[in-house]
Every structure is written in C-alpha cells, then in structure tokens.
Chain A
C-alpha cells in the first residue's frame, strides 16, 4: 500500500470485512434481499452504490462547513438524489433490460441506510479524500456481500452465472441436469437471500470471535 497510508488503507479495508455494513452493521438489507436473485443485477447495484457513495461522500465533505446543521438531511437527500438520477438515466440509456430488472431499487438507493449513515457519520466530519476512501470502502463492503449472495442465489436457483447456463440446460437436461439435478426454486425467493446473508454472518463470526457481541 505505497499509495495510501495505513490509516487511509484501513478506511477502505475495514468495511470489507470486520466492519461490513451488511453483516456487521446490518444496514442496507432490503436491497440485498430484493435484487440478488441474479449476479448481474448484484454487480450493477454494487457499482451504482460505489459511484453514489464515493462521489456523494466527497460532495458532502466539501460542503460540510457551509451546510446549516438543521437542514443537513435535506441537503444530503438532494445530493444522493442527484447522483442516483444520473445512475438511473445511464442505466436506462445503456442497459435498458437491466434497469427494468432493478426497477425501483435503483431509485431506492436514495433511502439506503448505508449512504445516509456514511454522510452523517463520516463525511460531515472529515476531509474530501478520507471521505472518498470511506465511501468507496463501505460501498465495496456492501457490494461484496451482494455479489456473494447473488452468486449463490443465481447458481443454485437458476443454474447460471451472469445468465450463462453453467450447469447445463434444465429443459434439454444436459450437463448436471442429466443426473436428475433440479434448480432450487427457493433460492429465487427473497427469504433465501436472508438465509444466505445469515450464513455469511455465521461464517464471519465463527472465523473472528471478536465480532460476537456479549450478552
């Protein structure tokens, strides 16, 4: 990490693992449940959030000294909304089919708790460079979980990855399907995402006992 000081590097690396926004802070669950049935949608959603949170954190950080604290939430909303509209329009222009799959959930990035949370907790009190790193880090932490969940849900639920039928054709019964294998319809349903996220949390906590809360 010659580019970044250790402190700065931690801003990116921490949210990827030990301070993950989904598995540790349990934020942004709704979109993780809704759009992870396909890996492609997960990746696009992750990239969108990286863009919105990275840029948004910088903008808020630059404005942090001139935002009146009483109306800061409204200002934050305007910033997120602007960035989300950009993402939405880009998707509609260049990936129309995908934007239909993601439907309302791109718009709902505005209400993603991770974004407002980072604005409030970090960007309002730190400089633009650090805020940028923090935004990228948290968005990536969110994205990693989305991609893991999307990977398992699409592989087990539809037998494909990025729409490519990696396990064979379920109708012509080639590949794995020739042995009698069937796609698991449960993985397509939103509750499956909840269970996969739960399993990730389980694995993470059993690998790092320090994360387990005392009760």
Chain B
C-alpha cells in the first residue's frame, strides 16, 4: 500500500520534470502541490520560514466556514418542510432534535447545496487554471475561499447555469483583469453576488427564492413561500420568528447567512488564529449599531410615523440588525478579506465602521436592497486604498511636525521634510 503511494508520488515528480517549460506546467504544478509538498526549494535569496502560507490561511477560513455549511444543509431542509407545513395550515414549531437535526432535512439540503459548492469550485478553479496556463504563472490559491463563500451567500434555488455565468464573470472581471489573487480591488465572491443580483433580480429577491421549491411550486395548489426577516420589515409587516430563531439561524435566507451564532464562532476562531482582523469586525459591528441607534432615535422622537414606508426597518431594534440578513456573515467573512480591505490599523477602524454604518443605511433607505451589506462592502473595497493613503499621509504629517519641533536647524528641516515626502509619496 505504502509502496504504491510512493511510486505515485515519484511518478508525479517525474511528470513534473518532464513538463518543465511547457504551457501546461503551471496547471500541473498546482495540481501537484495540492497533493504533495513540492520537491524543490529556493536556492538563493532570503526566505521567510513560516507555516502560515497562503494555502494555510485559506484552509483556516474554510475550516471556519464548515460549521456554517453544515448548518445550511439542515436549515435548507427544515425551511422547505416548514414552509410546506405552513402552507397546509399546520405551522411547525421548532424542535432542535425532533424536526431540525433530522436525516430528512440534511439530505434535502445536501442535495440542494452541494451542487452549488461543486459548480462554484469547478468553474472558478477552471478559470484560474486557464489563466495560469495563458499567463504562464503558478496557479494561486485565491479561489479556495471564494469558492466556498459563493454558495453560502446566494439563495438555495439559484439555477446552476446562472452561477456558472456569474462565477466566470466574477473571477475574470473581478480578479483576473487586475492581475489575479492579491491584486483585485473588489471581493470576488461579492462581485459574483452583485452580478447575480443585478443580472437576475427575480432570482435574488422576493419571497419565493429563500425556501427550496418555492419557485417551482409557484402558481400550483402546493405553492409555498418564505419571506426573510428583512423582507417582512421592508413591507412594514410583522414576522413570527423569535430573537433566538434569528440568532441561531432557523430562518429563511441565503444558504449560509442565517446562523449568527455559528458565524460568531467562526469569527472568534479566525480572530484567535489571527487569520482575520478583529479591528474590522469590531468596528463594523459598532458602525451598524450606531446607524441602528440613530434610526431608533428618529422613530422614538416621532419623526417617522407608522405610516412611513421606512417604519418597519427603522423601528427594528438596533442590535437585531446584526442577526437578521447577511450582515453578520458579511462582517466576519467578507469585510475581513485582507486583499480588498484596508491595511493600516486606523484605516481598518474607519473601513469597518463605514461598512456597518452603510449596510444598515442601505437596508433601511432602499427596501429593494435589503442585503445592503454586499453593496456596502463593495463600496468600501473601492475606498479602502484611499483610506489607507490618507491614514499614511496623516501619520507622515504628524511625524514631520514632531521632527520639526525637535530639530534646531530650520534649513535642514525643510530639506529633510522634502526628502521624507518624496520617499513616502
């Protein structure tokens, strides 16, 4: 057995050497390093010895996403059967071990969600391989996390061909045209979602897409539906989900966004393993709380009455914004993307705060976009380099000032200041 394995390993190494210099080499190399540690080492220059390379970082994020994915299997099934029960006039009450963690739920969810995961990975990695071959560079691991995020942020019944189109668009336009992993301005997973949202809005919003089977059954006697919490609020309607349901995620929504509890666990895991920035997470939470509080105050002051079309979302308790919709998922897994977010410490606070602030603002002011969080993050992705630029400039200015007051010769200061400026610009 072990001998067999060795020969396979050896054979792969041999093939790799034979392919050296050929067009297919990077693609094979990527496949090879995916299975085995490469047999070559760097011979010159300095190298950093650290275990947390890109692949390790990516795997940690995927590890943090696995509970969410697993939960989504059960929830997809549960919401489907719960909607059928509700339509037949016998609404279910949740019983965690009785009717939630059942084989039936799991299997239905598995059958519905896994194709999304597989398509997302197959198409995305396919595009990456093609680009690596054309450009002749190594395949980067950038898509590993994106591929897992994408199925979790779309409705469960998204047609697979739409996902294919969107993934190709997102990876090519969102990432490869800028130069691939590490060079992209926008978060690729959110680019894919934004594309789906604007290209096929009927499949991304409304009360039919969040529960499996609702679209197929529309117009038949078996019709079912499932509105999201935010959808109810945007229409000034009340909903029956308890706060605990919302926190633990027993509500309809995009595949993996519902359970704030598991997302919180994933977030803590990434903070303690130092994969994601706690500054961005904390400031984004503060930002959304701040905006939520402002809206609550506006309602308390009586400026917005019950007749207003904003009343439902504005009067929603400020902290509940965090457990409804995709805000928690966006903050933990998307806003913290190290490539598209701010790099400086102070920049991260500003970047995160504005994501939270704008998410809730877009939610409330444009009920057509209840998932304001993806627009807010994409917008701040664009602004992140600008924020960093001003944070760095402010720091340079502060240090220049300190430098000026400390030095005796004013003439020398100016030269030095100019020089410093030239270095930092």
Say yes or no: A202 contacts B177, CB within 8 Å.
Answer: yes
Shortest distance between the CB of A15 and any CB in chain B (Å): 25
Indicate if A111 sits at the interface (CB-CB under 8 A). no
Contact with A along B191-210 (1 / 0, CB 8 A): 00001001111110000000
Indicate if A195 sits at the interface (CB-CB under 8 A). yes
Please, which residue of chain A has its CB at the minimum distance from the CB of B161? A180
| Distance in angstroms between the alpha carbons of A182 and B198 in the assembled complex | 12
Q: Which of B173, B177, B203 contacts A182 (CB 8 A)?
A: B203
Say yes or no: A186 contacts B177, CB within 8 Å.
Answer: no
| Distance in angstroms between the alpha carbons of A180 and B161 in the assembled complex | 9
Say yes or no: A186 contacts B195, CB within 8 Å.
Answer: yes
Shortest distance between the CB of A194 and any CB in chain B (Å): 10
Q: Which of B131-183 contact A (CB under 8 A)?
A: 159, 161-162, 165, 173, 177
Q: Which of B159, B173, B177, B198 contacts A185 (CB 8 A)?
A: B198
Say yes or no: A184 contacts B173, CB within 8 Å.
Answer: no
Say yes or no: A186 contacts B198, CB within 8 Å.
Answer: yes
Q: How large is the interface on B (under 10, 10 to 19, 20 to 34, 35 or more residues)?
A: 10 to 19
Q: Which of B165, B198, B202 contacts A189 (CB 8 A)?
A: B198
Please, which residue of chain B has its CB at the minimum distance from the CB of A181? B161
Chain B residues with CB under 8 A of A83 = none
Q: Which of A189-207 contact B (CB under 8 A)?
A: 189, 195, 198, 202
Chain A residues with CB under 8 A of B161 = 180-181
Say yes or no: A184 contacts B177, CB within 8 Å.
Answer: no
Say yes or no: A187 contacts B199, CB within 8 Å.
Answer: yes
Chain B residues with CB under 8 A of A182 = 159, 162, 200, 202-203
Say yes or no: B159 contacts A180, CB within 8 Å.
Answer: yes
Please, which residue of chain A has its CB at the minimum distance from the CB of B172? A199
Chain B residues with CB under 8 A of A195 = 173
Chain A residues with CB under 8 A of B177 = 198, 202
Say yes or no: A185 contacts B201, CB within 8 Å.
Answer: yes
Q: A195-B173, A202-B177 are in contact. Are A184 and B159 (CB under 8 A)?
A: no
Chain A residues with CB under 8 A of B173 = 195
Shortest distance between the CB of B298 and any CB in chain A (Å): 32
Shortest distance between the CB of B378 and any CB in chain A (Å): 12
Chain B residues with CB under 8 A of A185 = 198-201
| Distance in angstroms between the alpha carbons of A202 and B177 in the assembled complex | 9
Shortest distance between the CB of B220 and any CB in chain A (Å): 16
Chain B residues with CB under 8 A of A181 = 161
Chain A residues with CB under 8 A of B198 = 185-186, 189
| Distance in angstroms between the alpha carbons of A195 and B170 in the assembled complex | 12
| Distance in angstroms between the alpha carbons of A189 and B195 in the assembled complex | 11
Shortest distance between the CB of A27 and any CB in chain B (Å): 22
| Distance in angstroms between the alpha carbons of A185 and B166 in the assembled complex | 13
| Distance in angstroms between the alpha carbons of A186 and B203 in the assembled complex | 13
Chain A residues with CB under 8 A of B200 = 182, 184-185
Please, which residue of chain A has its CB at the minimum distance from the CB of B162? A182
| Distance in angstroms between the alpha carbons of A186 and B200 in the assembled complex | 8
Chain B residues with CB under 8 A of A202 = 177
Contact with A along B317-352 (1 / 0, CB 8 A): 000000000000000000000000000000000000
Chain B residues with CB under 8 A of A198 = 177
Shortest distance between the CB of B243 and any CB in chain A (Å): 36
| Distance in angstroms between the alpha carbons of A115 and B173 in the assembled complex | 31
Please, which residue of chain A has its CB at the minimum distance from the CB of B198? A186
| Distance in angstroms between the alpha carbons of A54 and B182 in the assembled complex | 47
Q: List 5 A-B contacts (CB under 8 A).
A: A180-B161, A184-B199, A185-B198, A185-B200, A189-B198
Query: A residues touching B (Cβ–Cβ < 8 Å)?
Result: 180-182, 184-187, 189, 195, 198, 202
Closest 3 CB pairs of A and B: A186-B199, A186-B198, A184-B199
Instruction: Kindly list 4 other residue pairs between chains A and B, CB separation below 8 angstroms, not including A186-B195, A198-B177.
Output: A184-B200, A185-B200, A186-B199, A187-B199
